[in-house]
Amino acid sequence: MESTQHSLSELFEQLGLSGKTQDIEQFIRQHQGQLGRESLHQAPFWNDGQASFLRQAYDQDADWAELVDQLDVLLRG
């Protein structure tokens, strides 16, 4: 099975957010440190669709899983 490489910008767009670099950086600054022990998809700032996508991407080790991990690290920074 061939995997597709996506960018962080594409992940944000997939989540219905702006994929512009400055908007991604602002989102990360705004939400950084809000995650406790919960999984990324359980964060209170996601809507149901976003949370579902993040959970499925990680659980199914989908093409997006690596970027979901990266976003998790950035938000926990």
pLDDT tens digit sequence for 16-65: 999 999 999 999 999 999 998 999 999 999 999 999 999 999 888 778 99
State how far the Cα of 26 lies from the Cα of 1, in Å rounded to an integer.
Answer: 35
User: Is position 24 within any domain?
Assistant: yes
User: Is position 3 within any domain?
Assistant: no
Q: Give the residue, 57 or 3, on which the prediction is more confident.
A: 57
The stretch 73-77 carries a mean pLDDT of: 94
Q: Give the pLDDT of residue 68.
A: 95
- How many domains does the chain contain in total? 1
Q: Give the pLDDT of residue 62.
A: 78
**Domain CATH number, residue 22:** 1.10.10.1130
User: Is position 15 within any domain?
Assistant: yes
User: Is position 1 within any domain?
Assistant: no
> What tokens does 63 get?
């093409």
Range of the domain at 61: 8-76
User: Is position 28 within any domain?
Assistant: yes
SS3 26: helix
Q: Give the pLDDT of residue 60.
A: 87
Q: Give the pLDDT of residue 3.
A: 57
